[in-house]
Amino acid sequence: MKRFRPTRAAAPGALTRRGALRAGTVLLMLGGAQIARGAGILAVRVWPAAEYTRVTIESDSALETKQIFVSSPPRLAVDIEGIELDPALRELVSKVKSDDPFIAGVRVGQNAPNVVRLVLDLKQAARPQVFTLPPIAAYRHRLVLDLYPAEALDPLEDLIAGRLRDAQRVAPAGAPPVAADPLGELIAKQSDKPAPTTPNNTSPGQRPALPLPPMPAALAAAPPPAPLVPGAPLPSSTRTDRIIIVAIDPGHGGEDPGATGPSGTHEKDIVLRIAHLLRDRINASSVGGNPMRAFLTRDADFFVPLGQRVEKARRVQADLFVSIHADAFTTPAAQGASVFALSQGGASSSAARWLANKENSSDLVGGLNVGSKDVHVARAMLDMSTTAQINDSLKLGSALLRQIGGLGGKLHKGSVEQAGFAVLKAPDIPSVLVETAFISNPEEEERLRDPAYQVRMADALLKGIQGYFARNPPLARSRTL
């Protein structure tokens, strides 16, 4: 008779040999990418600006967070779940500089197992926005912390403050300010405000860029060309006595580097330099006796959504809108400058359509918070463009193209092209997009990096703007402020 031997019961939670084999088989079938694990932090970045400061945390998988904002003293606490504190997150502490307009300091620590707490101590009351972005372009998953001022900055106030500072520098002692139009009258009533300075930030996740050569003092301080004098005096009925405002839009910025050249030059850096040069020349110029004033949609290295760029120009009641770019193409052989206007129908060429689609994706790369109500308002406004606006934009584009063609470089096409660029959809402002060159072409990248060429490009753009107004005098109007 065979003796019965009772089996030993497995302890609770113990893994039997058969269970271990089964588990191993499952792991092999799933693969490493499907095994649950904590997210890995790839990079942290800080983009400070007077308009808002952005903090991004890039990871290899999506992060889950809980946040709380405390108003007194102002601070934002964010719990990041499913991760352990690592050197990349600790690096965020040193990323914040003392001149950041919003962040006074950062504290980071392991608040609980698998939970890292990030605390941003703030310098002022703020409206924080915390959201996530899916992978796109060179980026993986991103957690974004945007810190906006409690009271949004008014671009018109910035324009007024800058105009007032210039007037005070050149006016004789004791001389009363002279008002040119209702905007000038408002300028005269404003108090002077110091302009905030914002450090630049290099965009990680992209090819490292060669440092741009410094602007020689002789070039940076060179006086702009004399205002264009029309062949005959303008009729008195068309002359106005008011400030002419030109909105300059340096493309891309912040998390969105734009195109990158073979040597690592970022489009956002080149176009910002040209925009600064053009601003200085416009501010020192006039047309038909009317002083000109430039307004920049961004004056430092930070991201501005496309719709917001348009809305800024409308808020300051700009007379023109000039967006500056230096794009790349699929082949390094592409070369030459181009000027584009909006098209209500199809694009004028397949290349124009391709470029418009590429530029319109900037919001996705730069990191647009789709939950923001302001975004929906701006997007709704972008469908109001008129035939008259497009016709005026074509005239402006032709004037600019004539001047750019005189720089000695090649034009990609000798006429103004058209496509559905979102940034050109201001319904009441003649708007163009200028591709200064193809940064993907090694020779043109080298030219774009040359400070002397940047100066010549700014001079050409100024002459084009003045030429447009010489043939299309600005209409007299009372600005609604």
What is the C-alpha separation between 247 and 318, in angstroms, rounded? 6
Say if residue 233's pLDDT is above 60: no
Lowest-confidence region among 160-164, 285-289, 309-313: 160-164
Say if residue 464's pLDDT is above 60: yes
% of the chain beyond a pLDDT of 90: 56
Q: How confident is the model at residue 157 (pLDDT cuts 50, 70, 90)?
A: confident
pLDDT mean over 197-217: 58
Could you tell me which of 127, 115, 105 has the C-alpha nearest to residue 66?
Answer: 115
What is the C-alpha separation between 51 and 197, in angstroms, rounded? 11
Say if residue 32's pLDDT is above 80: no
What is the C-alpha separation between 417 and 353, in angstroms, rounded? 10
pLDDT for 232: 42
What is the C-alpha separation between 258 and 269, in angstroms, rounded? 9
Lowest-confidence region among 1-10, 18-27, 51-60, 171-180: 18-27
Say if residue 3's pLDDT is above 60: no
pLDDT tens string 353-364: 888 888 989 999
Q: Say which CATH class 244-471 falls into.
A: alpha beta
What is the C-alpha separation between 72 and 108, in angstroms, rounded? 20
Lowest-confidence region among 3-12, 100-109, 351-360, 458-467: 3-12
% of the chain beyond a pLDDT of 70: 73
pLDDT for 413: 78
Between 168 and 386, residue with greater pLDDT: 386
Q: What is the DSSP letter of 300?
A: S
Say if residue 67's pLDDT is above 90: yes
- Rg value, the chain, Cα: 27
Is 160 in contact with 193 (CB distance < 8 Å)? no
150 in the Ramachandran plot: left (φ > 0), alpha (ψ -120 to 50) or beta? alpha
pLDDT for 27: 31
At a CB cut-off of 8 Å and minimum separation 6, what does 280 contact? 224
What is the C-alpha separation between 432 and 399, in angstroms, rounded? 11
Between 292 and 163, residue with greater pLDDT: 292
pLDDT for 141: 97
pLDDT tens string 414-440: 889 999 999 999 988 999 999 999 999
pLDDT mean over 153-179: 66
Say if residue 208's pLDDT is above 70: no
Between 215 and 182, residue with greater pLDDT: 215
pLDDT for 341: 95
Q: Where in the chain is the domain with CATH 2.60.40.3500?
A: 41-149
Angle at 465 between CA 460 and CA 467, to 5 degrees: 90
Between 48 and 14, residue with greater pLDDT: 48
CB atoms within 10 A of CB 82: 17
CATH fold of the domain at 41-149: Immunoglobulin-like (2.60.40)
Q: Which range among 29-33, 306-310, 408-412 has the greatest average pLDDT?
A: 306-310
Q: Where in the chain is the domain with CATH 3.40.630.40?
A: 244-471
CB atoms within 10 A of CB 9: 7
CB atoms within 10 A of CB 382: 17
Going through 73-188 in order, the beta strands assigned E by DSSP cover: 74-81, 103-112, 115-122, 126-133, 141-149
DSSP 413-451: -SS-EEE--GGG--TTS-EEEEE---TTSHHHHHHHH-H
What is the C-alpha separation between 372 and 355, in angstroms, rounded? 27
CB atoms within 10 A of CB 200: 14
C-alpha 344: how far from its chain's center?
A: 25
